[in-house]
Structure 1
Amino acid sequence: MILGDSYCYTGGKAFDPALPTVVFIHGAQNDHSVWALQSRYLAHHGFGVLALDLPGHGRSSGPAKRSVEEMAAWLLSVLDAAGARQAALVGHSMGSLIALEAAHQAPERITRLALLGCTYPMKVSDALLDAALNAESDAIDMVNIWSHSSMAQKPSCPGPGFSVMGMSKRLMERISAQGEPGLFHTDFTACNAYANGDAAAASVRCPVQFIFGGKDMMTPPRSSKALLAALPGARTVTVDAGHQMMAEQPDAVLDALAAFLR
């Protein structure tokens, strides 16, 4: 689905704003495809799905937005263009900050928040920021290794015969090849600079669910204690995965989301 210069995957069904809307927001150097299973299932089970490509990522034209606040405002403009008055937001990593900020900017429009691989502040190390700017292939390797709980998935992996790490790496390489120079650094800088999380959490008025990867090294669950304290009514679910939980444990993530959204 094309809305102006923005692309949204609708899960194989035509988007219907009369249905409960669910918006999926990807993280740094990714696109809508990280939500392939979850978005498609919900689109075929009673939801209107918009899995976004953020500006400058995937099929959405650039330039990329430079701050979480700008990305959240853009997201709300996409809802306007799609004719969706309200929506549940599902965000991963950088996308979780965008979801949180969107709930701050327009609390009356957000019905639920699902935050995956989320922490605040979401600080990025100087070494990773430098690599993202000056040695992007090294940054991709670093993030890919740190984002998965295992170098090789067990035989019972939901995607047997596929390289979970290989697919994640190839996606980041493709986003790099298609996007503007320094996109990875732009995304990481936005995460690193975001400073409105406390105010955003205080303004949330809808149900919230955190989904943690029990083996997440990028945003370990223990790093979210302050944010959890600011959202005392939030539910928490932990899946046996690293940061890229949607790929490592797609069914467990889907089960958690489906139960929460219903």
Structure 2
Amino acid sequence: MTKHFTRTVRGTGPGLLLAHGGGGGVAANFGALIDDLAGTHTVVGVDYPGSGDTPRSATPLTLDRLADELVAAADAAGLARFAVLGYSLGTAVAVRTATRHPDRVTGLVLTAGFAHPNNRMRLAVDVWRALLEADRTLLARFLTLVATGERHLEARTPDELSDAVTALAEFIPAGSPEQVDLVDSVDTRAELPGIRVPTQVIAATLDLLAPPALSRELAGAIPGARLVEIDAGHLVGEEAPVEWLAAIRSFLPSVAA
């Protein structure tokens, strides 16, 4: 079992934890948002096993384990309370953090997320898992197809598209098999009605990987949750970083620790 996850700690101010997506990483999924958010918050994130510099896990991943590691990173940064910004799989990690450590969490921002995979998402995960073992370049093509919004995808030249696929194939984290297995097993539906902190759910309306209906389901099941929709595919940080940051920024003042 991995004993230490690689941590990102930036800035000062109220705590904000970052929970990244499956097959991603803190830097890859949140990118330039980290610099901006660190201007007003103590931003803390961990790379899951097999992402970033965190060693790959020899055992299956669980939401409990990822949530506890995220809170341990907050402890190490001196944060007693914090909001949690989750992306994709990270939304389930954020929800579990709130239900497992309810006295610590002040609010949730859940982006391009899901409480459980629907049939479309399960099919995508099945292909993702199979291509991890067979052909990383073909996997990169598949993920580009399902994770990129149509407008952003069609705006690329053939050379830009080829370069993006090559870069993604080279990036795919070693821990993707375990992370994808966790995506497939997520089911936080029973936890959602018990969440008692302010929550903002951000749906990506062009998302074919985690369809926006899944974000709407999250918002509908969490008491008092606010739903915001952004015209982007699953890669919200790449396709609509200004809109994503604005949505986060509009919400954070209401949940400052």
Instruction: State the secondary structure of the residue aligned to 1:215.
Output: coil
Matched, 1:124 2:119: no
Matched, 1:35 2:30: yes
- Correspondence for 1:53 among 47, 59, 73: 47
Between 1:244-253 and 1:66-75, the stretch displaced more is: 66-75
How far apart in 2 are the matches of 1:211 and 1:163? Answer: 28
How far apart in 2 are the matches of 1:124 and 1:188? Answer: 10
Q: 1:226 to 1:250 in 2, by over 3 A?
A: closer
Q: 1:160-203 CA deviation, whole Å, 9 max, x = no partner?
A: xx959955862563243xx3xxx2221111011123x1232122
How far apart in 2 are the matches of 1:137 and 1:164? Answer: 13
**Alignment correspondent of 2:214:** 223
Matched, 1:209 2:200: yes
How far apart in 1 are the matches of 2:252 and 2:92? Answer: 19
Alpha-carbon contact 2:219-2:227 (below 8 Å) kept? no
Alpha-carbon contact 1:213-1:242 (below 8 Å) kept? yes
Matched, 1:137 2:137: yes
Alpha-carbon contact 2:88-2:113 (below 8 Å) kept? yes
Instruction: Give the residue type in structure 1 aligned to 2:53.
Output: R
Alpha-carbon contact 1:245-1:253 (below 8 Å) kept? yes
How far apart in 2 are the matches of 1:169 and 1:186? Answer: 23
TM-score by length of 1: 0.82
Instruction: State the secondary structure of the residue aligned to 1:236.
Output: strand
**Alignment correspondent of 2:65:** 70
Instruction: State the secondary structure of the residue aligned to 1:22.
Output: strand
How far apart in 2 are the matches of 1:235 and 1:168? Answer: 35
Share of identical aligned residues, percent? 24
Matched, 1:248 2:239: yes
Instruction: State the secondary structure of the residue aligned to 1:29.
Output: coil
Instruction: Give the residue type in structure 1 aligned to 2:233.
Output: G
Alpha-carbon contact 2:140-2:165 (below 8 Å) kept? no
Matched, 1:25 2:19: yes
Task: Report 1:151-170 matches (<5 A).
Answer: 151-153=153-155, 166=163, 170=167
**Alignment correspondent of 2:178:** 186
Q: 1:83 to 1:118 in 2, by over 3 A?
A: same
**Alignment correspondent of 1:109:** 104
Q: 1:80-108 CA deviation, whole Å, 9 max, x = no partner?
A: 22221111110110111111111111111
Alpha-carbon contact 1:211-1:236 (below 8 Å) kept? yes
User: What's the offset of the Cα at 1:31?
Assistant: 1.2
Instruction: State the secondary structure of the residue aligned to 1:151.
Output: helix
User: What's the offset of the Cα at 1:153?
Assistant: 3.9
Q: 1:49-89 CA deviation, whole Å, 9 max, x = no partner?
A: 11332232112233276122221122122222222111111
CA RMSD, Structure 1 to Structure 2 (Å): 2.6
How far apart in 1 are the matches of 2:95 and 2:21? Answer: 13
User: What's the offset of the Cα at 1:138?
Assistant: 2.4
Runs of 5+ in structure 1 lacking a partner?
156-161
**Alignment correspondent of 2:147:** 147
**Alignment correspondent of 1:159:** none
Instruction: State the secondary structure of the residue aligned to 1:199.
Output: coil
Aligned length, in residue pairs: 241
**Alignment correspondent of 1:158:** none
Q: 1:99 to 1:242 in 2, by over 3 A?
A: same
Instruction: Give the residue type in structure 2 aligned to 1:210.
Output: V
Instruction: Give the residue type in structure 2 aligned to 1:215.
Output: L
Q: 1:130 to 1:113 in 2, by over 3 A?
A: same
Instruction: State the secondary structure of the residue aligned to 2:148.
Output: coil
How far apart in 2 are the matches of 1:55 and 1:240? Answer: 31
How far apart in 2 are the matches of 1:166 and 1:86? Answer: 41
How far apart in 1 are the matches of 2:244 and 2:168? Answer: 20
Alpha-carbon contact 2:195-2:223 (below 8 Å) kept? no
TM-score by length of 2: 0.83
